[in-house]
């Protein structure tokens, strides 16, 4: 029969088996970090033996054993002072590294026989002369000669500045001598004596008069808008084909007219403007017959008559807008195709035939 086991004997047996296992586990847990530090597995050894990818330094960041460090600021200043103040060239002027890097031309030509033979005659004459006592070079690649030329230019500038100052002083003296005695400045100009422009007139007089005659029902803003459309049409249209029998007066050539639309408009109006108007007067020749007497007009009256004729002729066109009708009529006048020219010629013909009636008109006292 198998031995009987009780609960007490089972607990003791479990305790006995548990003690060596716990001891071995504790021993293993303590030794494991030490072994991992000192001894590495083959996989760890292969990982550690792999090359380390370090960032390569740029040539500016690398340091070499023969690299010279920059001197201190005081050391650099002392070196420049020694070069400029203590060491002077043969002509007595402070020397600098840039001025002493040249070499004499004669030393270069001594090594080149062909160059010495074919050198310019001026340089040959200079070399034949005796060198000056100061020991300065006649020809050299250094910048001493350039520096002397700059000094000469500076002296010339000083002379010209002095001459200009004397001229200014002389002009001021002449101006002061012309003033009345006891006055330092010119006499003040009274407001009544000033000749200034009238700044209340914003637009050209011709443009303003045309705009006022375009106005209907007192709507000036609409008339100004129509005037801007007319000027824009004259500016963007092609140059007119001038009729030799009906040329425009007082204007530039035809290709230049669209460049200045206000002047273009002025030339058109002045070209068809009549010189006089015909006044009907009854009873001066006896009976009830009216006599036609020409009456001269001033500039504004002449322009008003021409604008009125152009507006009347534009009403016969079929364009929808007033501005387009007037602009097309102005273009026709510039090219000599409008009936305004015939109306002007007819009025001048009547005025020329009525010159005999001028003596019959009563004179104004």
The pLDDT of residue 200 is above 70: no
The pLDDT of residue 335 is above 90: yes
The pLDDT of residue 18 is above 70: no
Specify the higher pLDDT residue, 24 or 319.
319
Average pLDDT for 155-170: 79
Specify the higher pLDDT residue, 308 or 168.
308
Average pLDDT for 177-197: 69
Mean pLDDT of the chain, nearest integer: 75
Please give the radius of gyration of the chain, using alpha carbons only, rounded to the nearest integer.
55
Q: Which residues contact 58 (CB under 8 A, 6 or more apart)?
A: none
Per-residue model confidence (pLDDT) at position 297: 92
Q: Which of 8-17, 33-42, 332-341 has the lowest mean pLDDT?
A: 33-42
Q: What is the pLDDT of residues 39-74, one digit of tens each?
A: 545 545 455 545 555 566 666 666 665 556 666 777
**Assigned token pair, 63:** 């340091």
Q: In sequence order, what DSSP letters do the residues of 94-124 get, joined into one string?
A: BP-TTTT---BHHHHHHT-HHHHHSS-HHHH
The pLDDT of residue 24 is above 80: no
Per-residue model confidence (pLDDT) at position 30: 47
Alpha carbons within 13 angstroms on the beta-carbon side of residue 348 total: 11
Specify the higher pLDDT residue, 303 or 190.
303
Specify the higher pLDDT residue, 126 or 249.
249
225-229: long-range contacts, CB 8 A cutoff, minimum separation 24: 225/323, 226/321, 226/322, 226/323, 226/326, 227/323, 229/321, 229/323, 229/324, 229/327
The pLDDT of residue 177 is above 60: yes
Per-residue model confidence (pLDDT) at position 36: 46
pLDDT band at 7; cut points 50, 70, 90: low
Q: What is the pLDDT of residues 223-236, one digit of tens each?
A: 999 999 999 999 99
- How far apart are the C-alpha atoms of 261 and 236, rounded to whole Å? 9
């Amino acid at each position: 029969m198998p031995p009987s086991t009780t609960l007490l004997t089972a607990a003791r047996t479990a305790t006995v088996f548990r003690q060596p296992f716990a001891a071995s586990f504790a021993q293993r847990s303590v030794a494991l970090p030490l072994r991992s530090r000192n001894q590495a597995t083959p996989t760890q050894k292969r990982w550690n033996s792999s090359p380390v990818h370090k960032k390569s330094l740029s040539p500016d960041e690398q340091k070499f054993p023969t690299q010279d460090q920059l001197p201190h600021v005081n050391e650099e200043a002392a070196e420049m002072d020694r070069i400029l103040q203590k060491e002077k060239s043969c002509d007595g002027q402070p020397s600098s590294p840039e001025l002493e890097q040249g070499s004499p031309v004669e030393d270069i030509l001594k090594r080149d026989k062909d160059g010495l033979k074919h050198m310019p005659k001026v340089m040959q004459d200079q070399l034949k002369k005796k060198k000056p006592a100061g020991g300065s070079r006649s020809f050299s690649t250094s910048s001493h000669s350039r520096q002397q030329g700059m000094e000469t230019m500076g002296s010339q500038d000083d002379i010209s500045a002095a001459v200009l100052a004397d001229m200014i002083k002389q002009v001021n003296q002449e101006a002061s001598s012309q003033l009345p005695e006891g006055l330092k400045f010119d006499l003040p100009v009274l407001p009544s004596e000033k000749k200034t422009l009238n700044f209340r007139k914003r637009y050209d007089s011709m443009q303003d008069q045309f705009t006022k005659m375009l106005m209907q029902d007192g709507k000036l803003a609409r008339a100004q808008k129509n005037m801007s459309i007319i000027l824009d049409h004259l500016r963007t249209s092609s140059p007119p084909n001038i009729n030799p029998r009906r040329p425009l007066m007082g204007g530039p050539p035809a290709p230049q007219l669209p460049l200045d639309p206000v002047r273009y408009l002025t030339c058109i109006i002045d070209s068809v403007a009549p010189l006089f108007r015909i006044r009907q007067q009854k009873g001066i020749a006896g009976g009830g017959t009216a006599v036609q007497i020409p009456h001269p007009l001033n500039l504004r009256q002449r322009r008003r008559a021409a604008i009125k004729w152009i507006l009347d002729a534009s009403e016969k066109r079929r364009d929808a807008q007033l501005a387009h009708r007037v602009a097309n009529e102005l273009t026709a006048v510039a090219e000599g195709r409008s009936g305004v020219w015939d109306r002007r010629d007819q009025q001048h013909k009547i005025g020329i035939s009525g010159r005999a009636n001028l003596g019959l008109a009563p004179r104004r006292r």
